[in-house]
Structure 1
Amino acid sequence: MFIGYAVVAALLAFALSASAFLTFTRNPQIVGSMTKLDVPDSWLPRLATLKAAGAIGLLAGLAVPPLGGAAAIGVALYFVGALVTHLRAKDYELAPVVILTLLAVAALALRIASA
């Protein structure tokens, strides 16, 4: 199960890192998406920081199991919030959010199973 966690955590950490970088650098596509969802521009640095922290926590979870579990919970909650935000804005392009939420839940389940 540990190898499964390592693979899922690495994939999710990569996706989170890329998203955090694009959010920090205010990529026009990210800014446009956030504007469409009525997310204030002032939230972008905080959201990017949360994504980066989640990526670091997932990778640190390879060595410190409780940290990996906590990071997976945090990432899953982050994307549940993203899902709610999309639905409230009546934006039904949910596939990326759902996939990342499921990856976070899978990381948590695998981290627990490998402990």
Structure 2
Amino acid sequence: MSELYSEHPVMFKNNPIGFIVSIILIPVFGVGLVILLVWHLQNKASKLTINDTEILYEKGLLSKERSEVNISSVRTTKVKQSFFDRIFGVGAIEIYTAGDSPEIVAKGLPDPNRISEIIRPRKDDQ
């Protein structure tokens, strides 16, 4: 099984204003540093991985939440990007198998359209 995509959410591109405010707040009793550290840990605690046959989304540091979806069961992928998300090349992706609610919702990922393009041909092949 080859890994086709594996990314954590990104910090600066996902929220540039929050990042700049955090940098500005560093001299204020280190508040900005604490914000950046918590934000970094939250981002590293989430990861979306796609291989030839399945999609895996993991969340959490101390307690883990793990969702696995077989690519052949994917019905729809939805990419959501605001204007600023499009400028910075990030966004959210929702992966649907059956029903009206998504199985996986991953936010702040780099190049979400590429994720959809990776899933689409594999879904049709199987």
Q: TM-score, normalised by structure 1?
A: 0.41
Structure 1 or 2, whichever has the larger Rg, is 2
Higher strand share: 2
What TM-score do you get using the length of structure 2 for normalisation? 0.38
